[in-house]
Amino acid sequence: IADTVKEEVLPQDEQDFDIELQKFAASVEATEGHKQRRIALLSKLSRVLQTNFPEEDIELTTFGSTESNLALRRSDVDICIQTHSRTSKLQTTCQLARLLHEEGLVNIVCIPRARVPIVKAWDPSLGIACDINLNNSLAKTNTAMIKACVEYDARIRPMALLIKHWAKCRKFNGTKGKGVLSSYTITCMLLNYLQLTDPPILPSMVALQQNDYCKPKVQLNEKSIGSLFIGFFEYYGYRFEYESYVISVKQGYLLSKKTKVWDSDQNNILCVEEPFNNMRNLANTANEMEVMGLRLEFQRAYQILKRSRDHAGLVETFREF
Ligand code: CTP
Ligand code: MG
């Protein structure tokens, strides 16, 4: 009977490293306390909106890591306010900034002229940061896609948490418009790497949508989390050809920069296509020097982890810059 059941068993050292990685991921993910504070912030905002716009149907939703189940202890809350009416009295992020100020929030930064205007703020009583936008429906759609990908295979979530945490520790993750890459962009880079591994762990987004974001019946790739995690750093450190290709989670493969006519723009050194708007390069925030630095960071992580697939290796990889 035993012969008929042929399940691949990972070698002991790989199993140990996977356990270590999962423990590490659990130590950086948002706790129940963080979740409670997020909920408290949402009720506070909801009350503010109701008090100031009692006649209106204003909807408050979260997106980003709060929704995709990728929230870290140090994540902010991404909030979308939908006004549902052209004649709404709430028209600008600056108006919103004023209301937040009156409510006692601090460090308020209003970015009205960004592609998506946002207000950033810190709530000192709850100890939580938020990014709020008005009427940005794309963010909800692409968050649903990230969520579906994270749920597709159990190995993806710990890897995504760790890679986002790594980007923050090594200081090249900033929020929209600031810093080298957003968490969202680096998550898309991870997803595309998993689409390109052989056999693929994740199908293209087009295929995922056609199957209504369903999970596979059989997963052909049985690699350990550890080997995939190290492979990610090796791939973007040494193998991915930054000069020639565009990362496309939508297609699940690489597109040519030339064909897309993305090869002559100074802002397109690293190219990561927004899955729901293929004219947008999510990585246009990184200049040539920054992409070079990023590549060295991938190489650094790979070299450390190749040597020491253990707790000490992880501590060194995530060392704050
Ligand atoms: N987003 C986007 N375009 C970008 C960056 C972000 O559309 N260039 C949207 C996406 O919907 C994404 C959300 O904003 O899911 C949040 O982005 P970000 O904060 O970078 O990702 P999180 O997973 O929330 O990361 P963190 O936990 O670090 O906040
Ligand atoms: Mg976020």
The residue whose CB lies within 8 Å of the most ligand 1 atoms, and thus the one to mutate among 80, 184, 281, is 184
H or E, element range at 292: helix 288-307
Distance from residue 297's CA to the centre of ligand 1 (Å): 21
Ligand 1 atom 9, closest CA: 139
Whether residue 122 is found in the same domain as residue 166: no
For residue 38, the model assigns a pLDDT of: 95
Q: What is the dihedral of CA 306, 311, 317, 321, to 10 degrees?
A: -160
For residue 6, the model assigns a pLDDT of: 52
Distance of CA 268 to the CA centre of its chain: 20
Whether residue 158 is found in the same domain as residue 281: yes
Whether residue 131 is found in the same domain as residue 144: no
Whether residue 147 is found in the same domain as residue 105: no
Q: Which of 60, 81, 77 is nearest to 134 (CA)?
A: 81
Q: Which is the closest atom of ligand 1 to the Cα of 140?
A: 11
Give the span between the Cα atoms of 83 and 67, in whole angstroms. Answer: 20
Whether residue 255 is found in the same domain as residue 184: yes
User: Alpha helices, DSSP H only, in 29-155?
Assistant: 32-52, 65-68, 93-102, 137-152
Ligand 1 atom 16, closest CA: 64
Q: Which of 85, 120, 135 is the last residue of a domain?
A: 135
For residue 112, the model assigns a pLDDT of: 84
pLDDT tens per residue across all 321 residues of the chain: 444 455 678 999 999 999 999 999 999 999 999 999 999 999 999 999 999 999 999 999 999 999 999 999 989 999 999 998 889 898 889 999 999 999 999 999 998 888 888 999 999 999 999 999 998 989 999 999 999 999 999 999 999 999 999 999 998 886 544 568 999 999 999 999 999 999 999 999 999 999 877 877 788 999 999 999 999 999 999 999 999 999 999 999 999 999 999 999 989 999 999 999 999 999 998 999 999 999 999 999 999 999 999 999 999 999 998
Torsion sign (Cα): 171, 174, 178, 180? positive
Q: Which is the closest atom of ligand 1 to the Cα of 176?
A: 5
By three-state DSSP, how is residue 27 classified? helix
For residue 175, the model assigns a pLDDT of: 52
Q: What is the dihedral of CA 297, 160, 32, 120, to 10 degrees?
A: 60
For residue 253, the model assigns a pLDDT of: 98
Whether residue 125 is found in the same domain as residue 14: no
Give the span between the Cα atoms of 308 and 321, in whole angstroms. Answer: 20
As to burial, measured by CB atoms within 10 angstroms (0-12 exposed, 13-18 middle, 19+ buried), residue 264 is exposed
Whether residue 193 is found in the same domain as residue 299: yes
Q: What residues are paired with 134 via a beta bridge?
A: 81
As to burial, measured by CB atoms within 10 angstroms (0-12 exposed, 13-18 middle, 19+ buried), residue 269 is buried
Whether residue 186 is found in the same domain as residue 287: yes
Whether residue 103 is found in the same domain as residue 191: no
Whether residue 203 is found in the same domain as residue 296: yes
Q: Which of 302, 125, 308, 135 is nearest to 229 (CA)?
A: 302
For residue 1, the model assigns a pLDDT of: 43
Distance of CA 2 to the CA centre of its chain: 42
DSSP string, 179-233: SSB-HHHHHHHHHHHHHHSSS-SS--HHHHHHTTTPPPS-------HHHHHHHHH
> Tokens representing 250?
């939508």
For 181, 207, 211, the CA distances from 216, given in Å and listed in that order, are 31, 11, 10
Instruction: Give me the CATH number covering residue 161.
Output: 1.10.1410.10
Domain encompassing residue 116: 32-135
Whether residue 197 is found in the same domain as residue 311: yes
Question: In sequence order, which residues have a C-beta less than 8 Å from that of residue 164 and are 6 or more positions away?
Answer: 65, 70, 72, 173, 183, 186, 187
Distance from residue 257's CA to the centre of ligand 1 (Å): 24
For 64, 134, 138, 267, the CA distances from 115, given in Å and listed in that order, are 17, 12, 12, 15
User: b/e per residue, 179-200, with b = 16+ CB within 10 A?
Assistant: bbbbbbbbbbbbbbbbbbbeeb
Distance from residue 116's CA to the centre of ligand 2 (Å): 14
How many residues are there in the chain? 321
Q: What is the dihedral of CA 263, 265, 267, 272, to 10 degrees?
A: -30
